[in-house]
Structure 1
Amino acid sequence: MTVSLRGGSERRENCLLCSFTGQLDAYSDKQFKEFITEQMASSKLPLLLDLTHIDFIDSSGLGVLVQLAKQCTDAGLQFVVVGNARVIQTVKLVRLESFLHLQPDLETALSALATA
């Protein structure tokens, strides 16, 4: 990833969980998208993005989230985002909470994926 964004992924029973720390912005969006796309290519599981440790997200970061949500829809996969107060506020500001399937916490998101 980049100096400003670090992350990893793990396969859970019902999803691919990708967690990130740092800033999701114009400096890290390309690497973020490449990393997620690579992970998705090797897995046909629903995608859960844990952004609870993201310090900052800008329009570039939001744009990548929208692109990834569309990729998942096109592939017939579920897409869910979990964020902290800052991420949630930014996503709600541009009214993308429904499109990104924003969940309040990781436990709720995992439950939603398990029942879908």
Structure 2
Amino acid sequence: MTVSLRGGFERRDDCLLFSFTGQLDAYSDKQFRDFVSEQRGSDKRAMLLDLTHIDFIDSSGLGVLVQLAKQCADAKVAFVMVGNARVIQTVKLVRLEKFLHLQPDLSTALAALAKP
């Protein structure tokens, strides 16, 4: 990860939970994508991205989120994400909230993944 982006990862029974802090932008998008891909590997559990501690997201950051959502859809793996007000506003501005399965908070996202 870069100085501007830090990430964490947790394998849960029902999902792979990724948490990030900092900035998801043109300077960190490759490291973000590589980190998620490396940790995920061939795991078929649902993917949950917690972006509630992201300070800034730009079009490059949105692009990598779209790539991850597409990869999950192609692999028939559930994908959901949560964000803070800034992330939510940016995602909604480009009308990607449904495609990225944006949830209002972590507990709602976990509940959405638990549904069959």
TM over 0.5, yes or no? yes
Tell me the CA shift for residue 42 of structure 1. Answer: 4.6
SS of the residue 2:64 aligns to: helix
Q: Distance in 1 between matches of 2:82 and 2:43?
A: 20
Q: Which amino acid aligns with 1:14?
A: D
Partner Cα distance (1:96, 1:77) in 2: 18
- Cα separation, 1, equivalents of 2:104 and 2:72: 20
Three-state SS of the structure 2 residue aligned to 1:111 is: helix
Measure the CA separation in 1 of the matches of 2:16 and 2:51: 14
Are 1:94 and 2:94 an aligned pair? yes
Partner of 1:37: 37
CA distance in 1, matches of 2:106, 2:99: 18
TM-score w.r.t. the length of structure 1 is 0.98
Q: Structure 1 residue 27 and structure 2 residue 40: aligned?
A: no
Query: Per the alignment, in what secondary structure is the counterpart of residue 80 of structure 2?
Result: strand
Q: CA deviation at 1:93?
A: 0.1
- Paired positions, count: 116
Q: What's the RMSD between the two structures over aligned residues?
A: 0.7
Matches within 5 A, 1:41-80: 41-80=41-80
2:50 match: secondary structure = strand
Distance in 1 of aligned mates of 2:19 and 2:41:
17
2:109 aligns with 109
Query: What is the match of residue 81 of structure 2?
Result: 81
Deviates more, 1:33-42 or 1:67-76: 33-42
Deviations 1:93-116 (A, max 9, x none): 000000000000000000000113
TM-score, length-scaled by structure 2: 0.98
Q: Distance in 2 between matches of 1:85 and 1:100?
A: 15
Instruction: Tell me which stretches of 4 or more aligned residues in structure 1 moved more than 3 Å.
Output: none
State the alpha-carbon separation in 2 of the partners of residues 63 and 33 from structure 1.
10
